[in-house]
Amino acid sequence: MPILVKKNKAAFLLIAMANLIVAGCVFFILPPKFFYDAAIIIYDKGNEIGLIGSYPLTILFYKITGLRHLPFPVIGLLQFPILIYVLYKIGIPNDFEKLNIKNGLVYLGFFMIAVFISMPSKEFITYLSVSTIVFVFMNDKISFQKSILCAVFILFVFGLLYRPYFALIPIIGFGMYCVSFINFKNKTLSTIFYGLLIIIFLSLSYGVLKGQHFSEITREVVNSTRVGAQDSNSSITSPLKADTWYGELVAIIYGFFTVNIPINGLKHILSPQIILFVIWQLLLFYILLVRFSKCLKQRKKYRYELAILLILFSFFIIQGVFEPDLGSAVRHKIGVFPLIYFALYYESFRKELYPNI
């Protein structure tokens, strides 16, 4: 008897296979500047290898696994199936084969995974690390309360060892959760607004203690080395310098809207890749915002998705601080794509995963 494959699974596999080809071809198509981070990781000319920090740990990973000795196309062909297998294990929604906006965003997400993580990349480790949060939430042997504690632990440890700003996510997320109980006229936007106030407060407090604000030691440092460069056209440059409290306030708010609601990115009409990201980001943010609003209204029924969305929106808020350009913004969003995937399709997974809620 012929083996019948469901339409949703067939669509998933076809899209995955098509983008596997993309992952193998990226090296031959994209310009050398696209592989700047990959070159640092592979050659380690600065002898950064170590146990703490995104570059040191990533360099160590590619050395221990032996992947650093392989050509980039081969690395892409090895890494991409692993990343897609993670999504496969999370689940395939029943209507994945249907052409709609949500599925379109995910199809494009597959393509961006193939493009951005088809080489030695810090996002490969980020992607695998944050996916453990999803699998903890999907484990019916772990209670919701323990799942939250595990997620906080994962984020703190990942922040301490790899990317410090991830350690801020539980702080912002918890603050937003507490604020969401206040009876605002528009609870969804008010919750995100107070999340922005939390990161502004943290940055200004850090500035008082250390003499520099968050965006000064992240975005400003990166962009200061790229002034006048040919590939700096999508740089995120605040209208005010971030060396004062009001300058930092403007820089964070400007960065948040530029990264997450990048209407100003439409000015790059001659750069189709930027326009594509702008459209993808606007639609993604809107859909997640609608999901967030629904979760806040039915927080018990959608408590797992609410937790994931609090993590995601906290991450989006932090992106307003450290992202130097739109290219980095999309690359880092692909690093947390398992969370995005789970949040977008939570309704498809909910009844099977959580039959009692």
Q: For 315-351, what is each residue's pLDDT tens digit? A: 999 999 998 888 888 999 999 999 999 999 999 988 7
Domain chopping of the chain, boundaries: 1-120, 159-357
Average pLDDT over the chain, rounded to an integer: 91
Q: pLDDT over 90 for what percent of the chain?
A: 73
The total of other beta-carbon atoms located within 10 Å of residue 25's CB is 15
How far is 69 from 158, CA to CA, in rounded Å?
26
Residue 325 confidence (pLDDT): 85
- Is residue 291 within 8 Å of residue 153, measured between CB atoms? no
Range in 30-39, 213-222, 274-283 with the lowest mean pLDDT: 213-222
Residue 3 confidence (pLDDT): 54
Question: Which distant-in-sequence residues (6+ apart) come within 8 Å of 288 by Cβ?
Answer: 309, 312, 313, 340, 343, 344
Residue 233 confidence (pLDDT): 63
Each residue's pLDDT tens digit, 30-54? 988 889 999 999 999 999 999 999 9
Which residues does residue 235 pair with via DSSP β-bridges, in sequence order?
Answer: 325
How far is 55 from 298, CA to CA, in rounded Å?
41
How far is 116 from 197, CA to CA, in rounded Å?
31
Question: What 8-state DSSP symbol labels residue 235?
Answer: B
Each residue's pLDDT tens digit, 47-105? 999 999 999 999 999 999 999 999 999 999 999 999 999 999 999 999 999 999 999 99
Residue 113 confidence (pLDDT): 97
How far is 30 from 47, CA to CA, in rounded Å?
27
Residue 4 confidence (pLDDT): 63
Q: 186 in helix, strand or coil?
A: coil
Mark 116-136 as b/e (b = at least 16 C-beta within 10 Å): bbbbbbbbbbbbebbbebbeb
State the Cα angle at 32 between 31 and 37, rounded to 5°.
125
How far is 73 from 61, CA to CA, in rounded Å?
18
Q: How confident is the model at residue 1 (pLDDT cuts 50, 70, 90)?
A: very low
pLDDT of 122 higher than 60: yes
Q: How confident is the model at residue 232 (pLDDT cuts 50, 70, 90)?
A: low
Closest CA to 260 of 232, 276, 280, 237: 280
How far is 339 from 216, CA to CA, in rounded Å?
28
pLDDT of 279 higher than 60: yes
